Amino acid sequence: MSEIILHHYDLSPYSEKVRLMFGLKGLAWRSVQIPIVMPKPDYTELTGGYRRTPMMQIGADIYCDSKLCAQVLERLYPTPTLFPVDVAAIWGLSRWAETGFLMAVLIFFGIGGLFDEAFVADRKKMAPQLDLEQVKKIVPAKILQLAQILERLERQLSDGRAFLFGASASLVDLAAYHTTYFLNARPVTAALLEPHAHVRAWHARVAAIGHGERKELDAAEAIAIAHDATPVPFEGEPAPLPDGLAYGDRVIALPEEIGSGPIPGELAPSDLHEIAIRRTAPRAGELVVHFPREDYLVVRA
């Protein structure tokens, strides 16, 4: 198996979620630092145009979105598991926990002083409807919504359990942590954490999981690794497709979330939980770019 390469930047909360997955599973991995704002020519060489962070590369297979990273790592390295209890409950609560991320980001945009002009301009291009003057008006409401999430996390931890589902960390802990650990960046959000002693202690336990064994890698080297590798053939029964669509068709993968454009290519076989797009890049050669089924669509080109 080729080594795991994470394309990320250190301040990315969703990348922190994946780095903690490596730590929980005790994995060695290579780190490629990407620009925080566009352009990202080496990154999009591999992804085909997907620009969100992070992306995980294994040889010539490119895995976009932290949700898919969790699925792939659990399949390749099942022990210790990200799902020590009911799988559906963990997926559902992980998604709920991550609702706090957008609330916190809007608060930071609204109060200002945290992001530089280049970052703000880049995010406005990702979300043209972002009106900072309007965002300022909803900051008090967003603070209350975020306070509600923290209160529920505090209540869940109040019986003395180490992690949100008991003695073992799970994907829920990593999802909730990455949306709340950076609240200390501003006084108004840090104040939300202050009354929640159990949440603050839990933060320390999750942080102690660490990031596994990290070694840096140059983006050009990662592209060369992809070029010299071959995408892993799909094994098993491919997922059923809508009428009129067949594997091998020219298609476009469409992220439903704002901030990333369509990714064209050839529809490759995959299971029900992911979408696979085969494409050829000028420098990286033949690749298969993978997306989670959740939050992504595939349509004929």
190-239: pLDDT as tens digits: 999 999 999 999 999 999 999 999 999 999 999 999 999 999 999 999 99
Is the pLDDT at 1 greater than 70? The verdict is: no
Q: Write down which residue in 207, 239, 270 finishes a domain.
A: 207
Cis peptide before 54 (omega within 30 of 0): yes
- Which whole number is the average pLDDT over 273-300? 97
Give pTM, 2 decimals. Answer: 0.95
| pLDDT for res 244 | 85
| pLDDT for res 242 | 85
More confident residue, 133 or 126: 133
Whether 171 and 97 map to the same domain: the answer is yes
* Mean pLDDT, the chain, integer: 94
Whether 147 and 217 map to the same domain: the answer is no
C-alpha span between 296 and 294 (Å, rounded): 6
Whether 11 and 69 map to the same domain: the answer is yes
3-state SS class at 103: helix
Burial label, 160 (beta-carbon count in 10 A; 0-12, 13-18, 19+): exposed
Is the pLDDT at 128 greater than 80? The verdict is: no
- Which whole number is the average pLDDT over 51-67? 97
Q: Write down which residue in 175, 207, 239 finishes a domain.
A: 207
Q: Write down which residue in 160, 189, 207 finishes a domain.
A: 207
- The mean-pLDDT minimum among 123-137, 156-170, 173-187, 189-203 falls in 123-137
| pLDDT for res 127 | 77
Whether 49 and 112 map to the same domain: the answer is no
Q: How many domains does the chain have?
A: 2
Whether 28 and 50 map to the same domain: the answer is yes
Domain of residue 71, CATH code: 3.40.30.110
3-state SS class at 289: strand
**What pLDDT digit, counting tens, does each position of 10-39 carry?**
999 999 999 999 999 999 999 999 999 999
Whether 190 and 288 map to the same domain: the answer is no
- Which whole number is the average pLDDT over 141-165? 96
Is the pLDDT at 258 greater than 80? The verdict is: no
**pLDDT over 70 percentage in the chain:** 99
**pLDDT over 90 percentage in the chain:** 83
Is the pLDDT at 124 greater than 90? The verdict is: no
| pLDDT for res 13 | 93
Is the pLDDT at 147 greater than 70? The verdict is: yes
C-alpha span between 209 and 23 (Å, rounded): 6
Residue ranges making up the domain that contains 117: 87-207
C-alpha span between 135 and 240 (Å, rounded): 42
| pLDDT for res 123 | 82
Whether 91 and 203 map to the same domain: the answer is yes
Domain of residue 195, CATH code: 1.20.1050.10
